[in-house]
Structure 1
Amino acid sequence: MPKTDANHAPFAYDGLDRVIHEKSRLGLMTSLMAHPKGLAFADLKQLCGLTDGNLSRHLQVLQEAGLVEVTKGYEGNRPHTSCRLTKAGRRRFLDYLAVLEGLVRDAAKAAGKEASTLSRLGMLPT
């Protein structure tokens, strides 16, 4: 099977990292990107609309990939878990966003061509 590259397969979007691209993990990465000092487990759970179990599992995947650092400790007598992006996680997320931006640009350009053609043919509603 031939190897793809950006010149031969411009719509392959190989940089859409599957670890990040999953909906819940994308939400987690975005939340953590917006909070560089990190967030408490409970805050992430609320922000992303996840259950304890789902959040734990997604954080484990991100942690195993080296994207997120999870710190467990205590605040007073209560257990406290906080999460933050690693330096590599921040870089990888920015790279992912650059690829996603290109995808959106390509889709908008294609939609613009379609709209232009439909308009020229008188097929757009007025």
Structure 2
Amino acid sequence: MTDLDPVIHAQARLRIMAALSGLDDGDRMTFPRLQQILDMTAGNLSVHLTKLEQAGYVEVVKSFRGRTPTTSAGLTRRGRVAFDDYTAALRTLLDPPKEG
């Protein structure tokens, strides 16, 4: 049996990883856009981004556009590999090899 990464497996974090995996390597999505896409509260999104950041899966960057603070997030290389491994494990779990 293949183990699923418990950091990614939580529904909210899986949704975050899926949304960010659609970006090109090195690209980031702004916090408000991610919040809008996922229909999550700012607090909930922030908590789950922090957990993913602590695992090294997501990089959160705080900067300024003029005088306006901006927060954006993107997958790290480690995060992209972890998400690819997670989806492969899920496919194996859902469609196990046929014995025969």
Number of residue pairs aligned between Structure 1 and Structure 2 = 95
Corresponding residue for 1:32?
20
RMSD after superposition: 1.1
- For residues 33-63 of structure 1, give each alpha carbon's deviation from its aligned partner in whole angstroms, at most 9, with x where no partner exists: 0013110000110111110100110000000
**Aligned twin of 1:20:** 8
**Distance apart, 1:82 and its partner CA:** 0.6
For residues 38 and 73 of structure 1, what CA distance do their matches in structure 2 show? 12
Identity of aligned pairs, percent?
A: 44
How does the TM-score come out when normalised to structure 1? 0.72
Determine the structure 2 residue equivalent to 1:56: 46
Q: Which has the larger radius of gyration?
A: 1
1:75 aligns with 2:65: yes
Question: Which of structure 1's runs of 4+ aligned residues deviate more than 3 A?
Answer: none
Choose between structure 1 and 2 for higher RCO, CA contacts under 8 A separated by at least 6 residues: 2
CA drift of 1:104 comes to 1.5
Q: Which residue of 1 aligns with 2:34?
A: 44
Equivalent position of 1:89 in the other structure? 79
**Deviation for aligned residue 1:98:** 0.4
Give the superposition deviation at 1:76. Answer: 1.3
For normalisation by structure 2, the TM-score amounts to 0.90
Letter in 1 for 2:20: L
Partner of 1:7: none
* Structure 1: gaps spanning 5 or more residues: 1-9, 110-126
- Return 5+ residue gaps in structure 2 as ranges: none
